[in-house]
Structures are given as structure tokens and as C-alpha cells.
């Protein structure tokens, strides 16, 4: 009976956490500074103390609700590097497209970019929690000294592809097969990560 009770509390806690994250995304889309933990907690139907218990502070909540999303290209890169360096550009493009073609929601990623566009602090958090650590990994793996620029180029390229294919539905990009897009874009992403300017 005790174990069943703990399981029930865990499930309830996870459901509350999910509601907080969903409410936080709505608020952060309108601007980081304007969002308050108290209002987010009220919209999620939880006590403010629970928000601080789960996330520590407002920055922690922002990171969990807006930055920690698997849809962002840079979330996929470290996982793929764990599997090896071979054809990393093509593999990253394919992983990104497969996830999106499967129907994953675009809204969390839009939230990231809207927040970063509006608030300097959001841009800093985006870099500190995602681009910076991934750039360190790229610098270590490939021995490059401009890794931050490289990972930002990857992000911009793939985000542009995502907006064209899934948000704006621009043809023929929207209907081009994953294999063809990987063939076109994979080598470019590979060069961003491992090549030299004007080279391969």
C-alpha cells in the first residue's frame, strides 16, 4: 500500500510539473521579464512553493520550459556525437527532419526564438545552457577554435529549414523527401562542424 501511495504521488507531481511547464511557455512567449512565477503557478493550478521546489528559480523554470526541448537542433548533436563522428552532418539533418516529419509540435521551438528575440537575458540563457556547452563539445571533438560560430551556423541553417518546411510550408521544400534534403543540406552542415572556410 505504501508503494502504491508513493507511485500515485509521483504521478501527481509529474502531472503538476507538466502543467507548470505548459503555463510557463505561454508566459515566456510574451516576454521573460513580464512573466512571473506567481502567475505561472496560478495558471497551472499549483502553489508557488511547488514551482520553486521543481525548478529552483525563474531561470530554472525558463530553462526547463523553453530551452530544454528535444526539438532544438543542438539537443540532437551531442547524442549523435556519442555514436561517432562519421557523417555527422547528414545524420544531424536526418534526425531533425525525422522528428519533425513525425508530427512533433513546433510551438516549443517557436517559444525559444520569440523569447530570445524579445529579451537579452533569454538570449544569454539560450547560449549558456545550450549553444555554449555544445560548442565546447564540438571544439573538443574536432579541434576547431571557432566552435561557437559553427554551432550557431548549424542552428540558423536548420531553423531556417524548419520554418520553411513546417511553418510557412514553402514549396518545393515542404514536399521534398527527407533523403533529398539530407543529400542537399548534410554536406553543408558537415562543413559547418568540421570543415574550413571555403573548403571542405
pLDDT tens per residue, range 182-191: 999 999 999 9
Average pLDDT, the chain: 85
**Can you say whether residue 130 is alpha, beta or left, with left for phi > 0 and alpha for psi between -120 and 50 degrees?**
alpha
Average pLDDT for 26-54: 90
Q: Under CATH, to which class is 73-194 assigned? A: mainly alpha
pLDDT band at 122 (very low <50, low <70, confident <90, very high): low
Contact 175, 164 (CB under 8 A): no
Q: Which of 128, 125, 131 is nearest to 156 (CA)?
A: 131
Handedness of CA 115, 168, 70, 148 (dihedral sign): negative
* Residue 9: pLDDT over 90: no
What per-residue confidence (pLDDT) applies to 42?
A: 96
C-alpha cell at 157: 541553417
197: left (phi over 0), alpha (psi -120 to 50) or beta: beta
Architecture of domain 2-66: Orthogonal Bundle (1.10)
Alpha helices in the chain (DSSP H): 2-29, 37-44, 48-55, 58-62, 73-82, 88-101, 107-118, 120-126, 132-142, 147-162, 178-194
The answer to whether 62 and 118 have CB atoms below 8 angstroms apart is no
- Find all residues with CB under 8 Å of 93, minimum gap 6, and list them: 158, 181, 182, 185, 186, 189
The percent of residues in the chain predicted with pLDDT above 70, rounded, is 80
| Alpha carbons 163 and 100: distance in angstroms, whole number | 11
pLDDT at 7 over 60: no
Residue 85 has pLDDT above 50, yes or no: yes
pTM of the predicted protein model: 0.72
- Calculate mean pLDDT across residues 11-33: 85
**Domain boundaries of the chain, sorted by first residue:** 2-66, 73-194
Amino acid at each position: 500500500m505504501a508503494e502504491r501511495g508513493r507511485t500515485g504521488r509521483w504521478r501527481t507531481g509529474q502531472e503538476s510539473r507538466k502543467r507548470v511547464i505548459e503555463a510557463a511557455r505561454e508566459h515566456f512567449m510574451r516576454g521573460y521579464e513580464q512573466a512571473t512565477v506567481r502567475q505561472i503557478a496560478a495558471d497551472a493550478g499549483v502553489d508557488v512553493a511547488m514551482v520553486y521546489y521543481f525548478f529552483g528559480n525563474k531561470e530554472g523554470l525558463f530553462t526547463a520550459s523553453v530551452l530544454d526541448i528535444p526539438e532544438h537542433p543542438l539537443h540532437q548533436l551531442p547524442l549523435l556525437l556519442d555514436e561517432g563522428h562519421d557523417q555527422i552532418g547528414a545524420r544531424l539533418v536526418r534526425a531533425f527532419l525525422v522528428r519533425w516529419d513525425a508530427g512533433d509540435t513546433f510551438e516549443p521551438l517557436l517559444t525559444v526564438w520569440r523569447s530570445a528575440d524579445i529579451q537579452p537575458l533569454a538570449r544569454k540563457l539560450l547560449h549558456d545552457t545550450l549553444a555554449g556547452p555544445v560548442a565546447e563539445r564540438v571544439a573538443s571533438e574536432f579541434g576547431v577554435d571557432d566552435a561557437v560560430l559553427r554551432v550557431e551556423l548549424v542552428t540558423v541553417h536548420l531553423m531556417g529549414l524548419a520554418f520553411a518546411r513546417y511553418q510557412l510550408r514553402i514549396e518545393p521544400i515542404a514536399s521534398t523527401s527527407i533523403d533529398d534534403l539530407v543529400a542537399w543540406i548534410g554536406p553543408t552542415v558537415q562543413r559547418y562542424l568540421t570543415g574550413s572556410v571555403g573548403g571542405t
